[in-house]
């Protein structure tokens, strides 16, 4: 079952929607223009219901099939927000907003789901209900969690939910997914170190928190290499080191900031415990102190086996079995679609974006050639799950 002919015909129009979204990026929950654009299109398509303000600025469209004997309802989710990055591309539809760009392809995700919504509202060749979900604040704002807390699943009686994300480096027209953990939990921590400040020329009269910070960074590398089972996956990265304001003053305080990534609850708990133990113990050994604030972020994104098998089968019908990897290596990045999969069975799949710049890079751009594959996937997912 190849690309849907009607979707191929709509590619130019869907691409134009994507370019408009790309030129007008919005961050986190402040996706007012984007949400309004989505809502207006869903109404124009003839959706049976269009709801706004779910999870603050999320939009939901309801499309009922020609039959509803099954009573089955599935949700399809796309994210809408951009990133606080200055775009480096020279495109006719380049971001018009300084310091903001669609560097993760959410413009493409939104456009593809809009294309699917248009087709499904035109044809309604299924038995049940398709719910299209447009989510804000994926990029660190936990918009998925906000929509779930706002009663998304219960209000629309969603029984299963599916998500999709583009993947730079994976050829256009290919898909990838796996059972079980597919994306990592993303936690964040700060380490506040206190020593004794003093003159840089008399370090023996001070307790240097910069030195303590450097030692903590080194020692934290042992958490993954010596505390985590070698057959498990984990990441500990220190990305912030804030210290001092003058080159002849040993500061009193230093702050480190970083992230811990894991694919299981057991490893997640271990990282939280060991990061605190190592930081506090290292600081004490050097005569200072350290206080760790470990904040749990997005949970592990876990694909449900039955739904992952089904998603892989649908993708194979679109792209060909040889172009769908059903046992991909997990990704240590995070996704707040995990909150939706924690409350409903479903699956998350990656779609190839070709040889593009990486996600969150100022030269990234969603590949418009992926549009007919992703949109056809959504359509056939609904028509197969809700076969009339």
Q: Which residues are catalytic?
A: 81, 138
State the SS3 of the chain: CCCCHHHHHHHHHHHHHHHHHHHCCCECCCCHHHHHHHHHHHHHHCCCEEEEEECCCEEEEEEECCECCCCCEEEEEEECCEECCCCCCCCCCCCCCCCCECCCCHHHHHHHHHHHHHHHHHHCCCECEEEEEEECCCCCCCHHHHHHHCCHHHHCCCCEEEEEEEECCCCCCCEECCCEEEECEEEEEEEEEECECEECCCHHHCECHHHHHHHHHHHHHHHHHHHCCCCCCEEEEEEEEEECCCCCEECCEEEEEEEEEECCHHHHHHHHHHHHHHHHHHHHHCCCEEEEEEEEEECCEEECHHHHHHHHHHHHHHHCHHHEECCCCCECCCCCCHHHHCCCCEEEEEEECCCCCCCCCCCCCCCHHHHHHHHHHHHHHHHHHCCC
């Amino acid at each position: 079952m190849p690309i849907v002919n009607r979707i191929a015909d709509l590619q130019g129009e869907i691409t134009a929607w994507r370019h408009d979204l790309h030129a007008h990026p919005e961050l986190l929950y402040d996706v007012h223009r984007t949400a309004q654009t989505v809502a207006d299109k869903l109404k124009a398509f003839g959706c049976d219901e269009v709801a706004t303000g779910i999870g603050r600025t999320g939009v939901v469209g309801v499309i009922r099939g020609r039959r509803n004997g099954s009573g089955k309802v599935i949700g399809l989710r796309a994210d809408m927000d951009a990133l606080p990055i200055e775009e480096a591309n020279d495109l006719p539809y380049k971001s018009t907003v300084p310091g903001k760009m669609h560097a993760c392809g959410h413009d493409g995700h939104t456009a593809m789901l809009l294309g699917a919504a248009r087709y499904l509202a035109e044809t309604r060749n299924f038995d049940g209900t398709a719910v299209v979900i447009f989510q804000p604040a994926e990029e660190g704002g936990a918009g998925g969690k906000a929509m779930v807390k706002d009663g998304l699943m219960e209000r629309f009686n969603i029984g299963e939910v599916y998500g999709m994300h583009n993947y730079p480096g994976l050829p256009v027209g290919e898909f990838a997914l796996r059972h079980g953990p597919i994306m990592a939990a993303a936690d964040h921590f700060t380490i506040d170190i206190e020593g004794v400040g003093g003159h840089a020329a008399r370090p023996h009269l001070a307790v240097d928190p910069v030195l303590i910070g450097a030692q903590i960074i080194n020692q934290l590398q042992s958490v993954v290499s010596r505390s985590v089972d070698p057959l498990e996956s984990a990441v500990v990265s220190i990305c912030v080191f804030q210290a001092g304001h003058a080159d002849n003053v040993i500061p009193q305080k230093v702050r480190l900031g970083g992230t811990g990534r894991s694919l299981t609850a057991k490893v997640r708990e271990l990282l939280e415990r060991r990061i605190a133990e190592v930081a506090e113990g290292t600081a004490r050994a050097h005569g200072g102190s350290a206080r760790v604030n470990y904040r749990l972020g997005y949970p592990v994104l876990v694909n449900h086996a039955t739904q992952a098998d089904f998603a892989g089968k649908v993708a194979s019908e679109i792209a060909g079995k040889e172009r769908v990897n059903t046992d991909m290596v997990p990704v240590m990045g995070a996704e707040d679609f995990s909150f939706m999969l924690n409350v409903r069975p479903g699956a998350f799949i990656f779609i190839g974006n070709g040889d593009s710049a990486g996600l969150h890079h100022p030269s990234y751009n969603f590949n418009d050639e992926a549009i007919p594959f992703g949109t056809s996937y959504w359509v056939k997912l609904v028509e197969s799950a809700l076969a009339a």
